[in-house]
Amino acid sequence: TNPIFTGLPTTIFEVMSRLAVETGAINLGQGFPDVDGPEEIRRAAADALMAGPNQYPSMMGIPELRRAVAESNRRFHGLDVDWQSEVMVTSGATEAICDSILGLVSPGDEVVLIEPLYDCYLPIVRQAGGIPKLVRIAPPTWTIDPDQLAAAFSDRTKAIVINTPMNPAGKVFTEAELQLIADLCQKHDAYVIADEVYEHLVYDGRRHLSPMALPGMRERVVRIGSAGKTFSLTAWKIGYVTAPPHLLAPIAKVHQFVTFTTPPDLQAAVARGLRLGDDYYEGFAAGLAAKRDRLSAGLADLGFEVLPSAGTYFVTTDVGPLGIADDREACLTMTREAGVAAVPVSAFYASDPPTNYIRFCFCKRDEVLDEALERLGRWL
Ligand code: PMP
Ligand code: GLN
């Protein structure tokens, strides 16, 4: 067996969701909405499924979706993208991340990762033979220290993986931070693998900026999106990669042996979603921001220190009111005893994590958020 994987625990999202099902807890752990995305998109998938063909589509994705991804790069980021040589569809952003790391990183290459980090990055970097260089950012501000980041780069750096908007921090990288990353990548001839799955989940009038849109970065950035997040259809597992041809080619070589293709009916429906008007995208973000505010205010009333969240599905809080110092223990006990599941932030660290923060997912119906707060209030 492979020690890179055998030593790992089951991903925390599965652990907490399973426990929530077993105990009947309200699941504010794993990030998924409790209302499915636009009916128009789901109907388009159903129609395509019945009309067929339900056979292998092109390995790179159906042209309709690849065109729609190229168009949305232009629409939201002013990027000029050739759908044929620069866009590929994957089975979820998770596959896109895996393909990108395996396709670009060779044994001995250094890869800069920012902690807290989404849990699939590190094992895949290790599997590629890459040497992780971890840079930690800390709550409550989660700001990047320029000196620390610069110190993580060397002439052996092949890539940096960033996640903006960032899970679990709810941080949206500023232009200055992205410029710092861009400068370092240019100086050290490195790539950015940009996990931008929450690109449309940005609040309070802020805008998500893709590192690909920065001067000089068009040829260095692999940009990854997810229909799951953009359209509240997390089970569909439709991801998309935008990258210059010289980077997309090796990534596609991995994709052809990982999944090869992705269901064409879902792809066709996602193409339609990407073409929805601004009212969809604006309403979606505004609706989520209101949920963030609702849950944050309720948690603050219960005595939690709620950290600001500028994007994603998540808010983080301290464990204080729970009276259990260890975040993992706190989440397990809260799930079993209060009937509300959350995710320990320590799961987003390679080692030596802070253990006093937990993450709540707010993309749930208002009555579910209210019921969760009531349960917590009764228990505390
Ligand atoms: N990256 C981040 C930061 C995530 O939170 C998630 C969670 N869904 C993913 C990637 C995976 O996206 P997908 O479901 O499209 O594979
Ligand atoms: N991205 C989701 C989260 O952070 C989980 C997705 C998964 O379970 N792989 O909760």
The pTM of the full predicted model, rounded to 2 decimals, is 0.98
Relative to the CA of 234, which ligand 2 atom is closest? 6
What does pLDDT average to over the chain?
98
Q: Which residues pair with 160 in a beta bridge?
A: 112, 192
Q: Which ligand is nearest to the CA of 27?
A: 2
Q: Pick the closest to residue 44 from 273, 280, 277, 235 (CA basis).
A: 273
Rounded distance from Cα 51 to ligand 1 centre (Å): 30
CB under 8 A, 24+ apart: contacts of 251-256 = 251/88, 251/96, 251/99, 251/100, 251/103, 251/104, 251/222, 252/59, 252/60, 252/88, 252/99, 252/103, 253/103, 254/98, 254/99, 254/102, 254/103, 255/59, 255/88, 255/90, 255/95, 255/99, 256/59
Ligand 2, atom 8, lies closest to the CA of: 13
Q: What mean pLDDT comes out for the span 4-20?
A: 96
Helices and strands in the chain: count of H runs, count of E runs: 15, 12
30 lines ligand 1 (CB under 6 A): no
Is 261 near ligand 2, meaning CB less than 6 Å away? no
ipTM of the complex as predicted: 0.98
Q: Assess contact for 15 and 29: CB atoms under 8 A.
A: no
Nearest to 130 by CA among 102, 164, 154: 102
Cβ atoms within 10 Å, residue 337 = 13
pLDDT tier at 372 (50, 70, 90 boundaries)? very high
Using the mean position of ligand 2's atoms as its centre, give its distance from the Cα of residue 290 in Å.
Answer: 21
In the chain, the largest separation of any two C-alpha atoms, in whole Å, equals 57
Ligand nearest to the CA of 165: 1
Q: Please tell me what DSSP assigns to residue 197.
A: T
Distance from C-alpha of 179 to C-alpha of 134, rounded to nearest angstrom: 19
In the chain, what are the domains?
Answer: 3-30+279-379 (3.90.1150.10), 39-276 (3.40.640.10)
Handedness of CA 243, 309, 119, 12 (dihedral sign): negative
31 touches ligand 2 (CB under 6 Å): yes
Give whole-number Cα distances, 25 to 22, 181, 288, in Å: 8, 41, 22
In tens, the pLDDT along 20-31 reads 999 999 999 999
pLDDT category of residue 151 using cuts at 50, 70 and 90: very high
Q: Which of 12, 13, 91, 234 to mutate to test the pocket of ligand 2 (most atoms within 8 A of CB)?
A: 13
Q: Model confidence at 352, in pLDDT bands (50, 70, 90)? A: very high
CA of 4 to the centre of ligand 1 (A): 21
Q: Is 118 in the pocket of ligand 1 (CB under 6 A)?
A: yes
Give the DSSP letter of residue 245.
H
Dihedral sign for Cα 132, 5, 105, 354, please.
Answer: negative
Torsion of CA 71, 258, 92, 64, to 10 degrees: 30
